[in-house]
Structures are given as C-alpha cells and as structure tokens.
C-alpha cells in the first residue's frame, strides 16, 4: 500500500484517512520515574530526561530547543542518535500538517504556545502515587477531543513521555494484562527486570497485590501510570473522528484504559501507528499486548534508514532509538497525503545536517 509499511490488522482505517485533512497533536508529560538510573535513554542524564518532551516540541516548532542548551540525543557507542522529533518535523512539514502541543503534565514547560490539559507532572511510580486525579485529566481532555473533532477530519496523537514504557507497563499490569517483558524501550538493551521491579514496588505501595487487578480504571493510572495515558484516552473518547495513536507500546496502555472505562468501545475508529523498530523489536512484543485488548490495527513504518549515509540515523537500525514524538505516525500521515518515503527520508537527513 505504502513503501516501507507493514500492516498488522485491516487496511480499512488507512483507506478512510487517505487524503483527509489531518492534525498532529503531541501530548507531553513526565513522571519522576524517568530519574531512575538506567530506566530510559531519553536524555543525556537521568535528571535531564524531564527536559526531553519540552526540548522535542521546541525543536519541531522553533528548529532548536530553547529550554535546554543541548539538543536531546541518545549517545550509543560514541555516536549520537538524533531524537525522533526530527523525523516528525520532517514528515509534518513536507505534508503541511499542522502541529499542536498539549501539556498533559510535563515538569518542564516548552517555550511556545501549547494547550494545557493538565499542569502537574507525575511522581515516581515506586511511591504508588504516580498521578493526582487521573479522572480530571481524562475529563478535561475529553473537552479538547470534542473541539478537535470539529477542527479536523483525522487526528494524529503523538506523545513524549520519558520512561513511558515503564508507566505503560504499570497501567497494563494493574489492569490485568500480561505485559511484563513485552513493552518496548528507548535503548538497545531493554531493562525489563528493572521496569518490572519498579512497577511491582509501586503496586505494593499502592496496596495492589501483584497478580491482582484494580477495580477502578483510573486507580491504575493514579498508582503506577503517567498523566499522558488518561489525557490521550480522554482525547479519544471525547472525539468522534478517526484517530491515529502515534506511538509504541505506550499507546497500548491508552487502549487498555479506554477499554477499562468502556468495555464496549469500538476500536475500529482507532489505529496504532509506529515504526518498524518497535513492531519488529526482539526485546518487546506490541502485538502480544494489543491482541489481549481488542481488534486494533497496527501500522508500522520502516523509514529505510539503511539507505541513509547519516551515522546518527543508522543508530536506529541497532535499536538505539525506536520511536517517540509520534515519528512513525507522522511518516505514515505524510504518506497518506501523497508524500513519498524517499522524500521524507531526504528531508530528515537535511534537517539532521542543519540541526545537529
């Protein structure tokens, strides 16, 4: 159907949105979970991970981060892997798709106009008290989802949430899904044992025995989740249009929350769009998680970085970075607007040269 695209599920959603007016909303959030040593690669030091979402969206809008002196990059084997924000920027600019930022609770706010859904960042999930009033975040986001339905025909929701696969694991586990050793990660080595231990400690401190599930859907988020998850669930449930959830295994936690809130929710209006680096990741299994939730198509894009001479982009091939800031969904959205994959990759290379 499109170059580099692998489809898990149906092509129907894709046909529905082809050529339609689209809008990209990047939801940003942080939790202090990302400060745990070794849990995420989304930042040069654990402390700097909280700057990554703001820096990413500033890079897309302003061409450079202004909240940080340095551009977020993952350094692996002496080579810097450029943030996936550069992929998102390239694809959206080529396809002239508008880009908006929504704050679901980021500790560091970006220096640009953004939509406030929730102000407060999440805490370390080991406390078992990760997020305050997840239902308020959800209800507020529903209002925005309704408004955005009036504004566009296809909403693409990306996210930037450091250590977000750990908090996704928390929500999935607390809701009763088998997700241990299945969530993705931002580094070649996926620290599954650490993630599981962190979630387990959080559940214990929240009074949720390991192996048991919470009765109230929002309790899972409040105990061991992050603010992005109820925000994106609210955006989806408040809207009435096709929505691409542009992200990796973190978006499965959003789907799990939606199903917990409304077990009859019709998932045919949604899809998950991601990169081949997530979908074919040997250290995780997005399909295994999704199958437990419902009939949700996954579209995985391969940006063909093996064709690129750029050293930074080549690091993606060994799993240094897999996804983020809706990179896979942005590429696919651009392709549904008639932009070729080769043009997108060339634009990514050009931006890499200009920015880094």
Residues in contact with its own copies by the rule CB under 8 A: 23, 61-62, 96-100, 102-103, 109, 111-117, 140-141, 143-144, 147, 150-152
Q: How near is the Cβ of 133 to its own copies at its closest, in Å?
A: 12
Q: Pick the closer one to its own copies by CB: 95 or 131.
A: 95
Q: Pick the closer one to its own copies by CB: 136 or 180.
A: 136
Q: How near is the Cβ of 19 to its own copies at its closest, in Å?
A: 16
Q: Pick the closer one to its own copies by CB: 97 or 290.
A: 97
Per DSSP, the residues of 204-241 read HHTT--TT---SSHHHHHHHH--THHHHHHHHHHH--S
Q: Pick the closer one to its own copies by CB: 156 or 224.
A: 156
Q: How near is the Cβ of 103 to its own copies at its closest, in Å?
A: 8
Cα 74 from Cα 45, distance rounded (Å): 10
- Please calculate the CA angle 352-321-48 and round it to the nearest 5 degrees: 85
Please report how the helices 286-293 and 250-261 are oriented relative to each other, as an axis angle in degrees rounded to 10: 10
Q: How near is the Cβ of 91 to its own copies at its closest, in Å?
A: 15
Q: How near is the Cβ of 18 to its own copies at its closest, in Å?
A: 19
Q: Tell me the C-alpha to C-alpha distance, in Å, between residue 51 and each of 228, 296, 326.
A: 16, 32, 17
Q: Pick the closer one to its own copies by CB: 118 or 165.
A: 118
Q: How near is the Cβ of 121 to its own copies at its closest, in Å?
A: 16
Q: Do 1 and 34 touch, CB atoms closer than 8 A?
A: no
Q: Pick the closer one to its own copies by CB: 111 or 283.
A: 111
- Please calculate the CA angle 256-259-261 and round it to the nearest 5 degrees: 110
Q: Do 128 and 209 touch, CB atoms closer than 8 A?
A: no
Residue 87 structure tokens: 């992929």
Q: Pick the closer one to its own copies by CB: 117 or 208.
A: 117
Cα 301 from Cα 278, distance rounded (Å): 9
Nearest Cα residue to 165 out of 198, 140, 141, 136? 198
Q: How near is the Cβ of 68 to its own copies at its closest, in Å?
A: 18
- Other beta carbons within 10 angstroms of residue 12's beta carbon come to 10
């Amino acid at each position: 159907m499109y170059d580099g695209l692998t489809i898990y599920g149906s092509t129907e959603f894709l046909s529905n949105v082809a050529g339609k007016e689209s809008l990209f909303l990047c939801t940003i959030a942080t939790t202090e979970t990302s400060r745990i040593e070794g849990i995420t690669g989304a930042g040069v030091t654990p402390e700097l991970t909280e700057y990554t979402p703001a820096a990413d969206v500033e890079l897309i809008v302003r061409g450079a981060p202004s909240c940080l002196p340095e551009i977020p990059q993952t350094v692996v084997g002496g080579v810097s892997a450029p943030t996936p924000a550069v992929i998102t920027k390239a694809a959206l600019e080529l396809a002239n798709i508008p880009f908006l930022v929504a704050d679901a609770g980021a500790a560091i706010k970006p220096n640009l106009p953004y939509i406030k859904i929730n102000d407060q960042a999440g805490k370390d999930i080991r406390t078992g008290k990760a997020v305050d009033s997840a239902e308020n975040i959800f209800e507020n986001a529903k209002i925005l989802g309704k408004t955005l339905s009036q504004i566009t025909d296809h909403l693409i929701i990306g996210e930037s949430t450091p250590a977000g696969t750990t908090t996704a694991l928390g929500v999935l586990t607390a809701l009763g899904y088998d997700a241990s050793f299945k969530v993705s990660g931002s580094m070649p080595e996926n620290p599954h044992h650490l993630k599981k231990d962190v979630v387990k400690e959080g559940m214990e401190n929240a009074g949720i025995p390991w192996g048991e599930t919470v009765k109230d859907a929002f309790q899972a988020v409040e105990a061991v989740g992050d603010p992005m998850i109820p925000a994106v669930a609210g955006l989806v449930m408040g809207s009435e249009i096709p929505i691409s959830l542009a992200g990796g295994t973190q978006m499965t936690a959003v789907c799990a929350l939606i199903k917990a809130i409304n077990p009859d929710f019709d998932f045919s209006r949604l899809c998950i769009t991601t990169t081949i680096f997530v979908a074919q990741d040997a250290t995780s299994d997005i399909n295994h998680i999704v199958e437990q939730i419902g009939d949700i198509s996954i579209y995985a894009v391969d940006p063909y970085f093996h064709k690129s001479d750029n050293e930074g982009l080549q690091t993606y091939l060994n799993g240094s970075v897999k996804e983020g800031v809706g990179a896979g969904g942005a590429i696919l959205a651009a392709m549904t607007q008639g932009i070729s994959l080769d043009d997108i990759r060339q634009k990514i290379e050009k931006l890499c040269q200009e920015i880094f």
